[in-house]
Amino acid sequence: MTWDRKEMKMRAKSSLKGIFLMAGIAALIYLVLAGKNFIDVASTYSSDSINRSIQVGNFKWDFNVGGGMPGVVEKDFNWLLSLPYLWMGSLAGIAGILISIFVGGPIVVGLSRYFLTVSRNKDRADLGVLFSVFGDGSYMNIVSAVFITNLKIFLWTLLLIIPGIIKSYEYYYVPWILAENPAMKQKEAQELSSRMTFGSKGAMLITDLSFIGWYMVSAFALGFLNPWVKAYSTATFTEIYEVLSTPQVGTQY
């Protein structure tokens, strides 16, 4: 089924009218909880200081510890100070992976469910929809389906960049499909997304690229507008989903 990018953006703007602020907050929650580096503790050594950073979601703090001892003694002392941060970094990395799987995955589906509600019945679009997946009896199925889908895309990307990009758009609508069908198995959701996006992957890529200008504007605002650009983008791809799928009338969420 064909669709027009400009029309989809117009429909997205219409669906966001009156709730754009709340939609941006929903996107912000997603960006924080579903970030790839939810927790990151880093410690790097330089000749005269230890450079450390702690990142939680999209928020990062940097601080340095200067050395006061000369030569080899300073170097050894700095590395000794770095050891706890190396352990913290390892533990944080493991924690980040677990959070991305067991929290990030459901939040991705919750965000899709939220914007489906915005598109179909915005009066029922409250932030609780974002977390509705955690109350589903199919929570573990969603965790598994999102994880396996992301793993497949990652492995395709390792093989070659272009096939990885193609696969990412082929499976693009798995979260939306799971949002409506939480008990659906990952293979079935992937196959359905593949059929839906057949012939549209190039247009979807161009649509994604069309938001670069907005992200550049946000960069001048130190990234503070990113959640609202994400909301606009997600609303647009939700409208595309509505065209490519045969949606249910209304939504229970």
**More confidently predicted of 43 and 197:** 197
Q: What integer is the mean pLDDT of 209-231? A: 95
Q: What integer is the mean pLDDT of 86-114? A: 82
* Segments in the chain forming alpha helices (H): 5-16, 20-33, 71-99, 105-121, 139-159, 161-170, 174-180, 186-197, 201-209, 212-220, 226-244
Residue 27 within a domain: yes
**Residue-level pLDDT at 64:** 52
Q: What integer is the mean pLDDT of 125-137? A: 93
Residue 61 has pLDDT above 90, yes or no: no
| CA 70 – CA 48 distance, rounded (Å) | 9
Q: Shortest CA distance to 127 belongs to which of 27, 229, 239?
A: 27
**Residue-level pLDDT at 228:** 97
Residue 159 has pLDDT above 90, yes or no: no
Q: What integer is the mean pLDDT of 238-242? A: 97
* Structural domain containing residue 39: 5-244
CB 111 within 8 A of CB 26: yes
Lowest-pLDDT choice from 72-86, 157-171, 207-221: 72-86
**Residue-level pLDDT at 249:** 38
Instruction: Give the orientation angle of helix 201-209 with respect to helix 226-244, to 10 degrees.
Output: 160
Lowest-pLDDT choice from 19-23, 63-67, 82-86, 168-172: 63-67
Q: What integer is the mean pLDDT of 92-115? A: 88
Taking the model in full, what pTM does it have?
0.80
108 to 28, 43, 51, 174, 245: CA distances (angstroms): 12, 30, 33, 10, 19
Residue 85 within a domain: yes
Quote the percentage of the chain above a pLDDT of 90: 61
Residue 219 has pLDDT above 60, yes or no: yes
Residue 139 within a domain: yes
Q: How many domains would you assign to the chain?
A: 1
**φ and ψ at 252, to 5 degrees?**
-85, -5
31 to 98, 202, 205, 240: CA distances (angstroms): 16, 25, 20, 22
Q: What integer is the mean pLDDT of 88-94? A: 66
Residue 252 within a domain: no
**φ and ψ at 19, to 5 degrees?**
-130, 20
Region of 189 (left: φ > 0; alpha: ψ -120 to 50; beta: rest) is alpha
Q: What integer is the mean pLDDT of 20-41? A: 79
Residue 82 within a domain: yes
| CA 227 – CA 238 distance, rounded (Å) | 16
CB 109 within 8 A of CB 142: yes
**More confidently predicted of 33 and 134:** 134
Strand partners, 42: 53
Residue 253 within a domain: no
Residue 163 has pLDDT above 70, yes or no: yes
Residue 68 has pLDDT above 50, yes or no: no
Residue 249 within a domain: no
| CA 122 – CA 128 distance, rounded (Å) | 13
Residue 129 within a domain: yes
**Residue-level pLDDT at 98:** 84
Q: Highest mean pLDDT: which of 62-66, 73-77, 80-84?
A: 80-84
**Residue-level pLDDT at 246:** 65
47 to 44, 57, 76: CA distances (angstroms): 10, 30, 11
CB 117 within 8 A of CB 162: no
- Tell the residue number behind the tokens 């000749």, with chain if given: 47
Residue 14 has pLDDT above 60, yes or no: yes
Q: What integer is the mean pLDDT of 210-236? A: 95
